[in-house]
Structure 1
Amino acid sequence: MKKMLILAALVGLTASPAQAEHWDVIGTKLKDTCPIGKYMAIVKDFNQWGRSYGYTATILTPIQDQDQTMFWWIGKTENAAKFGAAWDAWRDGLSDPNSTPAKLQARFADCATNHSRSGYDAW
């Protein structure tokens, strides 16, 4: 019985893929016509949309970096499956110009240019 309890405790402490957050990391540069405040207003509106899919974004701006013009979008979901559902909703929404994703995408495109995108499991 004691060995079973120890084994159960060890299994509970080990990470499994279902426990990993998914991080969506996008390297972005603002266009000259877009101040950070304008971009952050778009991010706020995006987060309002993303909340229903369990997706939230945080923006990292450089303090110490070799490229002071690049900032980082850190989108987080509970796991990769939730990210996939959010991505499907975003992508599918882009086909309707009156949808929230299409309107947000147009605002993002007017304001910034993405230079890289990566996805990570975060433990």
Structure 2
Amino acid sequence: MFSKLSKVFMMAALVLTVALPGLANAGPEQWPTTLKLGFIPTEGAADSAKRAKPIAAELEKDLGVKVEIFTASDYNGIITAMANKHIDLAYFGPKSYVEAAEKANAEAIVMELNKDGQPGYTGIIIT
């Protein structure tokens, strides 16, 4: 029904739904009007944007703010956008997250877990 990526962003929406209301005490002028979400390309940038639309719609519904999708031709573009404050959130794979943490002070708020509940990923080499 939902892809793994969709589940990750739904969890992010849940986390943000809990975390962002703290801004409500600060006053409407400090509450964000737009949330910019970056996606590393797993296919062409246009396909990444298309794949992200349902997630953006769910976040908009849950958070009550406009969500803009940002894609780049490679993950370095997403990291650069984060470092320059052009995006607020991003979906990273393991390697790109490590680089984003080093270069853009990225902080994981949601992490995929395997069937045993452990963080990590599986690589497959086909020859």
TM-score for both structures, normalised by structure 2? 0.32
Q: Which has the higher strand share?
A: 1
TM-score for both structures, normalised by structure 1? 0.33
Q: Which has the higher helix share?
A: 2
More contact order relative to length (CA 8 Å, sep ≥ 6): 1
